[in-house]
Chains A and B, each alone.
Chain A
Amino acid sequence: MYKYNDFDEAFIRARTAQFRKQVERRVAGNLTEDEFKPLRLMNGLYLQLHAYMLRVAIPYGTLNARQMRQLAYIADKWDRGYGHFTTRQNIQFNWPRLTDVPDMLDALADVEMHANQTSGNTIRNVTSDHFAGAAVDEIEDPRPVAELLRQWSTDHPEFQFLGRKFKIAVGASEHDRAVLKAHDLAVRIVRNDAGETGYEILVGGGLGRTPMIGKVLHPFLPREDLLPYVEAVLTVYNTLGRRDNKYKARIKITVHENGIDTIRALVDEQFALIRPTFSGYDQELLEEIRAHFPEPDYVKAPLDAFETAYENDPVFRSWADTNLSAHTNPDYAIATISLKKHGQTPGDATSEQMRVMADLAEAFAHDELRISHEQNVILPHVHKSHLPAIHARLKAVGLATANIGLVSDIIACPGMDYCALATARSIPVAQQIATRFDELKLEHEIGELKIKISGCINACGHHHMGHIGILGLDRAGVENYQITLGGDGSENAAIGERAGPGFAYDEIVPAIERLVLGYLDLRESPEETFLQAYRRLGAEPFKAVLYPEAKTKNAA
């Protein structure tokens, strides 16, 4: 894991001290809210419906046991004893007092964490594949590149006042687990026919009001050109991006309105200008960063404990079958801890649960934890012999739900229960869907199915990319939910299509039930997933299940 050097430490401490003074001046009345708001947003502090909310960065979703314990401590001391993990691998605390936030930032700095650039019109927390360093299909660990971009973008003077926020993700695998194509800019580490590695650069992806799939800006960028090239993209966006209309300010619109070829030509021009000013220090730095991400010191041990438990304990077997993924080391597994227990709030963990996950990471998983954009926690490096013990500890604190990738593993934004921007609730819809399918005991039979729920058009819940997407809106003063079908957040990224008229709050869960049960009748075999069936059959048979009354009317 990346370890702060003296510069990082001094920077974070200075920043925290600066914010403490800003809060003091605000409380003393020397700063107005208009003056203070951009300052607090730069430090991840929002004002939501019921309280302030502090969004803490977890760069590329990686943290260690000590950091997870500190998040638990912060949750207990200054919040309500829990935290909410987000779709951008961050954690949010929902109930801080303004005057406590400087102390919270100090406590974060104590464990090399911060809330910088988790809000505002800057380059946001850089995200990555939550299986990085462990995935069987990756070319290399993408996190050193993500860390390089984090350092380059932190407090970058040219990019503190962009037209709008800018999100970057980095991946290095065939299978995209980081939703690269929904980012303003994505870096994909690829290998060419000659066996050399380089970067595919995608630009202009994004969800929200105008969902767009990222386009290839450069198919194979030489490695030493990464920072000047990304900087050139940002400069072009900063110059060309619209500032007259907030809804047209993201780079996806800049790309859409100007065309990818024009953008590419402008980027090439700017790149040629600044490339000579990069002396190669960035490459030395990347090498230094790379040394922080060594392969784990793998243990050799017999696998009997795993095999015995797998044979004899059906509950463990179900969890192992559902929540484990293949690791590059065949004696190891990647274990995903579900934060989606049926009926619970997706992505929430109590301080007690955080401490248990920290203990497990320390004892059994080379002191590493990851947060996924799907709002779960991952132990990326687990020797299989430890899995039964891990499962038992997880079970004791309600963290052993065997539902990864299934219908109840729902992404949901905070929605109207917390968010000042929301137009409807998301969390209770997710809770009720999960509870209902648990009652039906059909989850494992249904198989892979991604439901994603957003409580407004901004799409923090990635609804466009759900196999089934749900968008909560305010229609004439009541909550109304639109369903989209066929979205996909993987390397085959697709934007879901709207199925038809929306459903009222008390109609949405039955509608989802109809849709999923309808799929069971429509699929060719148990192996055909919801998305595959949708792609084979098209929307019509699914719409017929969703809107039976329309079918009757047409027949009449």
Chain B
Amino acid sequence: MARKFTPKVVTANDLIEGDVVYLTDDGTWTRKLSEAALFTIPEEADERLSFAAAQTGRVVGAYLADAEPGETGPVPAHFREAFRATGPSNYFHGKQEAAEQA
């Protein structure tokens, strides 16, 4: 039997800022993981990754990252993605800082 598919988000880094970005349902990019589209069907995830990877003028290094459904959108399934979604733990820089200012 095939292994159960772990849901995915499409993520990359912004070309100019380098900031972590996620693909949304409408094919735009967001800086918040909670706003990302969560794909539960492998074929759909692959198709959206191809779509993302083609946007070389907008993002760098698109890939599929494991995620889980949370109360307010997708949440990271692995600690590496948790750091990407939050920022470094030694300074209050990156997304955590931006979130506070928002």
B90 touches A417 (CB 8 A): yes
Query: Interface of chain B, helix or strand or loop or mixed?
Result: loop
* Given A477-B78, A477-B79, CB of A27 within 8 Å of CB of B16: yes
Residue ID in chain B nearest A49 by CB atoms? B84
**Residue A403 lies at the interface, judged by CB distance under 8 Å to chain B:** no
B61 touches A33 (CB 8 A): yes
Residue ID in chain A nearest B95 by CB atoms? A50
By size class, the interface of chain B is 20 to 34
B15 touches A27 (CB 8 A): yes
Interface centre among B15, B78, B88 (most CB of A within 10 A): B88
B89 touches A425 (CB 8 A): yes
CB < 8 Å: which of B18, B77, B79, B91 contacts A51?
B18
B57 touches A97 (CB 8 A): no
CB < 8 Å: which of A33, A48, A479 contacts B56?
A33
CB < 8 Å: which of A29, A51, A95 contacts B57?
A29
* Given A416-B83, A417-B83, A425-B89, CB of A51 within 8 Å of CB of B61: no
* Given A33-B61, A416-B79, A477-B78, CB of A50 within 8 Å of CB of B15: no
| A85 CB, min distance to chain B CBs, angstroms | 15
**Residue A47 lies at the interface, judged by CB distance under 8 Å to chain B:** yes
Residue ID in chain B nearest A51 by CB atoms? B18
User: B39-58 toward A: CB 8 Å interface, digit per residue (1/0)?
Assistant: 00000000000000000110
**Residue A401 lies at the interface, judged by CB distance under 8 Å to chain B:** no
A417 touches B88 (CB 8 A): yes
- CA of A327 to CA of B88 in the docked complex: distance in angstroms? 40
User: B79-102 toward A: CB 8 Å interface, digit per residue (1/0)?
Assistant: 110011001111101110000000
| B17 CB, min distance to chain A CBs, angstroms | 6
* Given A417-B83, A478-B79, CB of A47 within 8 Å of CB of B18: yes
Complex interface: chain A residues within 8 A of B60 (CB):
33, 47
B18 touches A427 (CB 8 A): no
Residue ID in chain B nearest A478 by CB atoms? B79
User: A49-75 toward B: CB 8 Å interface, digit per residue (1/0)?
Assistant: 111100000000000000000000000
* Given A345-B90, A417-B89, CB of A50 within 8 Å of CB of B84: yes
Residue ID in chain A nearest B83 by CB atoms? A416
A427 touches B79 (CB 8 A): no
* Given A32-B56, A33-B60, A417-B90, CB of A97 within 8 Å of CB of B79: no
Complex interface: chain A residues within 8 A of B77 (CB):
477
Return 6 A-B CB contacts under 8 Å, by A number: A27-B16, A33-B56, A49-B84, A97-B16, A428-B89, A477-B77
Sample of 10 further A-B pairs with CB below 8 A, known A33-B56, A98-B15 = A33-B61, A47-B60, A49-B84, A51-B19, A97-B17, A97-B18, A98-B16, A416-B80, A417-B88, A427-B90
